Chains A and B, each alone.
Chain A
Amino acid sequence: MDIVGLANYAVFMAILIGIYALLALGLNIQWGFSGLFNAGIAGFFAIGAYTSAIITSIPAAHRLGGFELPLLLGWAGAMVVAAAIAWPIGKICLRFRADYLAIATIGIAEIIRLVIRTEGWLTGGVRGITGVPRPFGDLPYMQSQIAYLAIVIVLVLLAYLLVERQLKAPWGRMMRAIRDNENAAAAMGKQIAARRLQAFVFGSALMGLAGALFVHFNRSITPEAIDPMIATFLIWIMLILGGSGNNRGAILGAAVIWIIWSVSELLTDRLPTELAIQAKYVRVFIIGLTLQLVLRFRPEGILPERQPVPPPRT
């Protein structure tokens, strides 16, 4: 690979890391601050991707839309629809322990996958949606990639600053209080279920936005674009390894895990075909094992959660 190829690859990787960082930030709101187990991340990601694709793509005869509406509307739509799907699920399941939400999110991700495959009039079925516009997509390849990277960086930074601000605000302290001691927080008059619902819906909206960013980067989406279980799992490891409860940890984890994951793919693709297929499963096995090792030996992650410093007494 020459220098230009390498630079191209680095920009490509950086864009995907940014998208995963958004997903990890969304999960951090749910798991890191609030202790909610979302096992259907890929579902909310897909919802965001399809929503934005339908809103902004060029019209097609065999499916709903595209409406050729502005990009920002697509992104907003992605967040709104992801949030709207998260809301009833959270409403039903968040009264109970986190296990129930986990089961329900696995379920909703499966249903979303079924709907995307089956309802061709809406999503184009197995053909998927093509002709999704990309901002600055008319520029030459390299410039267009860099421009998109800039957009992704701005959005990740914006999300980071907003989430960080929320975390330091009374809302963040309250969420951690609910996470760490539900009964005490309830005794202080906090509405546990309603607050958890907020965190779940906010986090899911962010995941929807990540999906929208992905579809405009990719310019198309099909049901096979993401493996739901592996995608969900990668994001979990990013957050746990990076440090759940720490936004910088979430972004760092996204970078570390995505680099390891794609470089290992590059390496195994060079193996002979039969071995390469085996190696694919070995890689999945290893990410499963990595989670176990992190949970056992470094549950706080690379960048542990920072405990807020109490204000000086006066």
Chain B
Amino acid sequence: MLAPAVRTFGRGGIHPDPHKQATAGRPIEDLPAPAEVRLPLLQHLGDPAVPAVKKGDLVRRGQKIAEAQGTGVPLHATISGKVKPIDRHPHPTLVLAQAIVIARVADAELPPLEFPEDPEWRALPRDEMLARIREAGIVGLGGATFPTWRKLQLPPGVEVDVLVINGAECEPYLTSDYRTMLAEPRAILEGAVLMARILGVREVAIGVESDKPDAARVLRAAAAALPAAGVAVHVDLVQTRYPQGAERQLVFALTGRTVPAKALPSAVGVVVQNVATAAAVHDAVRFRKPLLDRIVTVTGPGVREPRNVRVPLGTLLSDLVNFCGGATDDATRIVAGGPMMGRALPRLDIPVTKGLNGLVLLTGKGPFEDGYGPCIQCGRCIEVCPLGLEPDQVSVRVEAGKVLDTAPYGAEECYECGSCTFVCPSQRPLVQFMQVAKASLRRQRETRSAR
């Protein structure tokens, strides 16, 4: 018998060493409430939340501490405690940003809020479901942190017919989505059906990479057990190939549709949500439970006891690393996120934010520490770019100080998967050149529109 062709994307892609064995077999563990959390007002794409508490206030876990504003989402206390002065603190992506700091008070004195089930939760009107999702502060937990309520509220004239649930988790080292799929398949499925009802779609496609067949099996079993809701759910294995979990690549693999450049998947009738987001949506609609924790994979050769941890948002990375046995003596680099798309951080007094799916500590020399060579025009970066962009052309123009001439080579379309840098035989920081070009082009556009 012929094996069915495994679904995958069209062009480019790479096969990095997965490095997932250290944490793939470890169930999710709960981090005990830390002594302090720092909750940045901006942990999502959109307008920052506005503080609703002041210094000295006592807050309970689950209580709203900052109101949503404009395109944003609200923020909730993730531990019970006392509010410290609101000030600028280190932030994983914004470097320094306003944050609400809460010092823990014992649960006995200040018990966390309870979130009982709403018996009517399956029959709620669409607007009520959207309102609960926004009130819960849910954003895309795959890392992009786009507010989920906005993604589910399609602009007029846009129609979608498929909801894609992203369980690919193609980043090396990370297993947080994998463990979530094994631990909460029911919540993921229920959340997916709720979102399908909000969007008015009848088909939900869940994509799981072929190296996680057990996750696909568990999800299929949960799908079979779902009460009929007029929504067809199918779980599909997709090829283990980086960047399979990128939105465009997964949409192509599961539906055969190509998202046009600079357009959203909704342009081809698809909305994509991460598995952890689906589970959070379920909790928000069924229990009115806000997003208080997230699953983070703490791993890498620089961590003594790699683990998958459920951690209250705002917990400092140092507390998280200590929970995992601390850093090894030879740890040299901290990466927030996976090694392909994550960001290098200089220290650990930085809080866990909604978009952080992994923390990888690495040892030894980093890339580019011995410098890098000139472009030898081999074209391998173009071959592996899943979007067919030309990182080589962008890189030589940035080097020559001609940043504004990079637009024709796709600098603005790049979503920074890093495949080009991975294969470059000259070890050039190609994705970093892309980032510089993107930042400069954005800056130029902003100054132009300001004039």
A in complex with B:
no
**A-binding residues in B (CB < 8 A):** none
List the interface of chain A (C-beta within 8 A of B). none
